[in-house]
Chain A
């Protein structure tokens, strides 16, 4: 089945810094989703991408659907303490196919 490689596994940054994380797949995806999960909660959808090359923002978050359709990137600008959590990418090959999740990037923001 599809595999998603998400990196980095963890990040430790200072408040105010920018953050980048990415996800690559072994096959072409037609949908990329980025989720954030806080401790004890389920993942919450941050950004959805549906076209190759698409760049979408949600406040301080910006995500891009890679041109090759095998990767996606998430950037967080001017990080704040509440950005702490685990960020997951998820991809879907075609309409009706299962959504595959990456292993997550654990983000720690030091005040």
Chain B
């Protein structure tokens, strides 16, 4: 079974530029998450989708971050304009459901460096 696919693996940009990340979840997984992981910290949820609808985006900095999952399968996360503090690994995860027995499966992440 294929895992969660993410691209690119690495991205280096200058502050105030824009960047986009792509994620393809495990087939059949209705729930998709984007997490931000700053070096030395645990993953922090940015946004959760259930199919193509947003369930939780309370921790997404909406002035610069946006995400979409138009057809309920793959998703893109965009940052515009980027700031130095956005340097982090951006992890995509998916799960079959959101019940108490939910298990999240993660992709390898995109490491973003903002110079």
Residues of A with Cβ closer than 8 Å to B?
4, 6, 30-31, 33, 35, 40-45, 48, 50, 88, 90, 92, 94-96, 98-99, 101-104
| Contact residues in A for B64 (Cβ distance below 8 Å) | none
Complex Cα spacing A88 to B42, Å:
7
| Contact residues in A for B44 (Cβ distance below 8 Å) | 101
With CB as the reference atom, state the residue of chain A lying closest to B109. A42
Q: Is B96 positioned at the interface, with any CB of A under 8 Å from its CB?
A: no
User: Which of B11-19, B65-73, B76-84, B98-106 is the contact stretch?
Assistant: B98-106
Complex Cα spacing A35 to B35, Å:
15
A42-B91, A42-B93 known; 13 new pairs, CB 8 Å cut-off, are: A4-B42, A33-B104, A50-B100, A50-B101, A90-B42, A92-B100, A95-B100, A98-B48, A99-B104, A101-B42, A101-B43, A103-B41, A104-B41
| Contact residues in B for A48 (Cβ distance below 8 Å) | 101, 103
| Contact residues in B for A101 (Cβ distance below 8 Å) | 42-44
Can you name 28 A-B pairs with beta carbons within 8 Å?
A6-B42, A31-B100, A33-B103, A40-B108, A40-B109, A40-B111, A41-B108, A42-B93, A42-B107, A42-B108, A42-B109, A43-B43, A43-B106, A45-B104, A48-B101, A48-B103, A50-B100, A88-B42, A90-B42, A94-B100, A95-B98, A96-B98, A96-B99, A99-B45, A101-B43, A101-B44, A102-B42, A103-B40
Count contacts on B: residues with CB < 8 A to the other chain. Answer: 24
With CB as the reference atom, state the residue of chain A lying closest to B6. A42
- Cross-chain contact A31 with B101 (CB below 8 angstroms): yes
Complex Cα spacing A33 to B100, Å:
11
Complex Cα spacing A72 to B98, Å:
21
| Contact residues in A for B108 (Cβ distance below 8 Å) | 40-42
With CB as the reference atom, state the residue of chain A lying closest to B91. A42
